[in-house]
């Protein structure tokens, strides 16, 4: 299997070499479409024998990506952004995939690691269709937050692409959406979703709420509707609209199985209203949820593990059940919780157990299995 690596770049001198250096020994062709660099991006590309093409930027990411795909000549096309990279261990796995992939596969998707903990373990990820068969002529769609429209036989790889965005979020994408509005363009459901996200990221909360609500009325991809629900719930929290927050979260149960994150936000709402027993039910429900291995949507694994555990510690402590609170604090500590918080809680709870002459719980490694018990 021969691979063309296709990228669109602009002023990426600070990250491009990290991306290209390991890939240059693996792919058979590198295509860089430059949208207006005035730094050393092109020189770095030339160092790795990239074929470099200029593209006049027109506020349309799909057009730029499609142009890069048109320049590819190999059997398969892989795409990356300049601030993406693949670790050496996964490069070796990618070499194996390249050598042995069944040619009946049209698409290879890979997990996309967006946020990691201090030990490098992925916390937030999703899957992206990353390698595609060139002869199928797949196209990118969408001026902003573009996606690759694929069909056919898909291989679900466990090879991680990691993303490190060196710059803070800007209003670049929001400006593109505003321009689309000014030009009277009709927003499809996906546009509504990402426009609402950009409003939310840029702290335009009231406007974001309006567009999230409009989006949720459409017949959109269910995974995007889950994310919209979570973001809308957080908008309501910012605006102190707790009743609206609970309504939108519970309404999502009509059309989708809840994620651990949705369960935790429902629990947070009840906790805020001092309804501890109900909050406990939803935090424990979150701990029984299992993240989907092949989901293309964002998943935050912390909501499946230590976050509900530490919140259960809070709930039981408020109910003066210090024994159980201690239990869940230790569980949170073992499955990734903040060590400073769990240490502080441990000290406080040990004092409470001593004051109330309650024996200190003892645990073994079997404690990890307890997260699935309600």
Q: Which domains does the chain have, with CATH numbers?
A: 3-163 (3.90.550.10)
Residues in the chain, pLDDT under 50: 365, 367-368, 370-374
Whether 48 contacts 24, CB under 8 Å: yes
* Closest by CA position to 125, among listed 86, 168, 80, 161: 161
Give 202-205's long-range contacts (Cβ < 8 A, gap of 24+): 202/169, 202/171, 202/174, 205/235, 205/238, 205/239
pLDDT the model gives residue 61:
97
Whether 125 contacts 298, CB under 8 Å: yes
pLDDT the model gives residue 162:
97
* CB half-sphere exposure, 158, CA atoms < 13 A: 3
Is this structure's pTM higher than 0.75?
yes
> CA–CA separation, 108 vs 82, rounded Å?
20
Instruction: Write the DSSP string, 189-252.
Output: HHHHHHHHHHHHHTT-HHHHHHHHHHHHTS---HHHHHHHHHHHHHHHHHTT-HHHHHHHHHHG
* Closest by CA position to 33, among listed 60, 6, 5, 61: 6
* CB half-sphere exposure, 364, CA atoms < 13 A: 1
* Closest by CA position to 329, among listed 348, 356, 309, 358: 309
User: What does DSSP say about strands 51-54 and 76-79: parallel, antiparallel, or unpaired?
Assistant: unpaired
pLDDT digits 0-9 by tens, 236-284: 999 999 999 999 999 999 999 999 999 999 999 999 999 999 999 999 9
> CA–CA separation, 154 vs 93, rounded Å?
18
* pLDDT-above-90 percentage for the chain: 89
pLDDT digits 0-9 by tens, 157-191: 999 999 997 777 789 999 999 999 999 999 999 99
């Amino acid at each position: 299997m021969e691979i063309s690596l296709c990228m669109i770049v602009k002023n990426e001198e600070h990250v491009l070499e990290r991306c290209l250096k390991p890939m240059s020994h693996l792919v058979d062709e590198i295509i860089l479409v430059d949208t207006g660099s005035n730094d050393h991006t092109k020189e770095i590309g030339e160092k790795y024998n990239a074929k470099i093409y200029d593209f006049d930027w027109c506020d349309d990411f799909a057009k730029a990506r499609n142009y890069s795909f048109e320049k590819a000549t190999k059997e398969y096309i892989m795409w990356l952004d300049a601030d993406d990279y693949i670790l050496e261990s996964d490069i070796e796995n990618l070499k194996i995939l390249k050598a042995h992939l069944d040619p009946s596969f049209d698409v290879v998707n890979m997990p996309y690691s967006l946020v990691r903990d201090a030990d490098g373990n992925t916390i937030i990820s999703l899957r992206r269709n990353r390698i595609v068969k060139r002869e199928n002529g797949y196209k990118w769609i969408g001026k902003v937050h573009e996606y690759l429209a694929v069909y056919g036989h898909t291989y679900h790889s466990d090879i991680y692409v990691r993303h490190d965005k060196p710059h803070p979020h800007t209003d670049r994408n929001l400006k593109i959406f505003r321009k689309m509005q000014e030009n009277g363009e009709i927003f499809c459901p996906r546009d509504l979703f990402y426009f609402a996200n950009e409003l939310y990221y840029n702290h335009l909360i009231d406007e974001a709420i309006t567009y999230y609500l409009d989006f949720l009325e459409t017949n959109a991809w269910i995974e995007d509707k889950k994310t919209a629900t979570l973001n809308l719930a957080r908008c309501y929290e910012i605006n102190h609209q707790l009743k609206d927050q609970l309504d939108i979260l519970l309404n999502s149960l009509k059309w989708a199985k809840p994620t651990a994150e949705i369960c935790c936000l429902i629990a947070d709402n009840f906790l805020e209203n001092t309804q501890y027993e109900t909050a406990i039910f939803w935090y424990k429900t979150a701990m029984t949820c299992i993240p989907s291995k092949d989901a293309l949507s964002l998943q935050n694994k912390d909501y499946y593990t230590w976050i509900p555990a530490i919140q259960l510690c809070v709930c039981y402590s408020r109910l003066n059940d210090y024994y159980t609170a201690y239990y869940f604090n230790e569980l949170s500590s073992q499955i990734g919780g903040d060590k400073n918080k769990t240490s502080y809680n441990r000290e406080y709870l040990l004092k409470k157990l001593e004051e109330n002459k309650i024996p200190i719980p003892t645990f073994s490694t079997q404690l990890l299995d307890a997260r699935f018990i309600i």
